[in-house]
Amino acid sequence: MTNEFIQLNLHPQLVQAVADLGYTTPTPIQSAIIPAMLAGQDVMGQAQTGTGKTAAFALPILHNLALDRGQVQSLIVVPTRELAIQVAQAIYEYGRHLDVHVLAIYGGQPYGRQIRGLQKGVDIVVGTPGRLLDLIKQKALDLSGVQTVVLDEADEMLSMGFIEDIEAILGETPSTRQTALFSATLPPEIRRLADRYMHEPQSVTIQRKQLTVATIEQRYYLVNEADKLAALTRLFEM
């Protein structure tokens, strides 16, 4: 079985890691984003969960990593702690054959544990905007050496009111950084953010037919918290 990730000119250790995970063929967004990021370009990807976008930005970040620098080189900003944990774990798996230090930073966890993790030396930080900003203000998180920033699920962060926090965080990183932005939708606020903080980004759009199986019907219901179980039970009955 041939591994098509080899054609993307990634380090052999990274190709081996994705092969260990059972991946042999890049998804459309990976085929588009990985070469652009390896070339140092800013990228803006319109894609939803399930397209393989985490590997699309994680693999080039790991490829370009300078090991043993002892400072944060890459920052991934995500809207929720669940996604922070998920992305950090994925990066750890992709970098399993490299000596990479990844730390997830999010609210609801003691500051001390995260600060000690940063003090030990971290290559890649994955975090939520509020906690990242808190640690920056405490002088515990230094982003002056960051080479790549990824804004993942940017439209979700917009809807949660994080745009000002994101701008403050970006202001702590070098202006020469590489920036990658991923969003399921691109409302005007996100486009303004891209215009202000990105340098001639290469745009990649994954069409909806590549995102969701056509036979799956999607709906959502707004219910009170106390009614959630009853509503879910009713749906199962139907």
Q: Quick check: is 115 in a domain?
A: yes
190: CATH: 3.40.50.300
Model's pTM, two decimal places? 0.84
Per the DSSP assignment, residues forming a β-bridge with 181 are 44, 151
Other C-beta atoms within 10 Å of 73: how many?
Answer: 20
Q: Quick check: is 41 in a domain?
A: yes
| Gyration radius of the chain over CA positions | 19
Q: Quick check: is 228 in a domain?
A: no
> How does pLDDT run across 178-225, given as a tens digit for each residue?
999 999 999 999 999 999 999 999 999 887 554 445 556 777 888 888
Q: Quick check: is 180 in a domain?
A: yes
- The tokens for 20 are 């260990």
Please tell me the distance from the alpha carbon of residue 52 to that of residue 26, in angstroms, as a whole number.
8
Number of domains in the chain: 1
Q: Quick check: is 218 in a domain?
A: no
Q: Quick check: is 233 in a domain?
A: no
Q: Quick check: is 226 in a domain?
A: no
> How does pLDDT run across 125-140, given as a tens digit for each residue?
999 999 999 999 999 9
